[in-house]
């Protein structure tokens, strides 16, 4: 079936089988391999993307369901599509939160969605946002520190001089 997908603000015309997942369409049909295929069962969160403002596991969503919706992946460089992504990416580097890298795209997309809704989340909100993202390296403390650093920097912008 022919689909028109909008990924990271760009149009993609793809031909897929009706059973093709969004994850496979992104990786194979759009050439966007940043979204990781790890468990392929919705257990690990490595394939987390933002679909019309909400996080979804791309391995559990059919590509056909995404037509006429906005899909944002880790490859997004458009500040309008993912305004928090670059700050979070830098914080992951600064706080050694990326380790092996398999979970990193999903972690970043989950956090980007959180920060788009709440620019100064507390530690509980950050923990809740990444609760569905497994890190096999055990970098959870670093991930929380990175996200907290971004929230703290945002709070500092609004603090009284």
Domains, the chain, with CATH or none: 2-72 (3.10.20.30), 85-155 (1.10.150.120)
Half-sphere exposure of 54 (CA within 13 A, CB side): 4
Band of pLDDT at residue 60, cut at 50, 70 and 90: very high
Q: Is the pLDDT of residue 161 over 70?
A: no
Q: What is the mean pLDDT of residues 33-47?
A: 96
Name the nearest CA neighbour of 50 among 107, 123, 119: 107
Q: What is the mean pLDDT of residues 41-68?
A: 97
| pLDDT per position as a tens digit, 76-125 | 988 888 889 999 999 999 999 988 889 999 999 999 999 999 999 999 99
pTM: 0.94
> How would DSSP label each residue in 105-159?
HHHHHHHHHHHHH-SS--HHHHHHHTTT---TT--HHHHHHHHHHHHHHHHHHHS
Q: Is the pLDDT of residue 160 over 80?
A: no
Q: Is the pLDDT of residue 155 over 80?
A: yes
pLDDT at site 13: 97
Return the structure tokens found at 49: 């993307």
Name the nearest CA neighbour of 145 among 93, 105, 70: 93
């Amino acid at each position: 079936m022919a689909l028109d997908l909008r990924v990271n603000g760009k149009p993609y015309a793809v031909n897929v089988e009706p059973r093709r997942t969004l994850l496979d369409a992104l990786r194979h049909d759009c050439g966007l391999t940043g979204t990781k295929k790890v468990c392929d069962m919705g257990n690990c969160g490595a394939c987390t993307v933002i679909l019309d403002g909400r996080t979804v596991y791309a391995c559990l969503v059919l590509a056909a369901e995404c037509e006429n919706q906005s899909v944002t992946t880790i490859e997004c460089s458009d500040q309008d599509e993912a305004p928090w992504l670059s700050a979070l990416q830098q914080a992951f580097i600064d706080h050694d939160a990326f380790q092996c890298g398999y979970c990193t795209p999903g972690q970043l997309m989950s956090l980007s969605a959180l920060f788009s809704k709440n620019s100064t989340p507390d530690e509980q909100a950050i923990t809740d946002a990444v609760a569905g993202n497994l890190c096999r390296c055990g970098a959870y403390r670093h991930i929380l520190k990175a996200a907290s650093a971004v929230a703290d920097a945002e709070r500092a912008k609004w603090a009284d001089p």
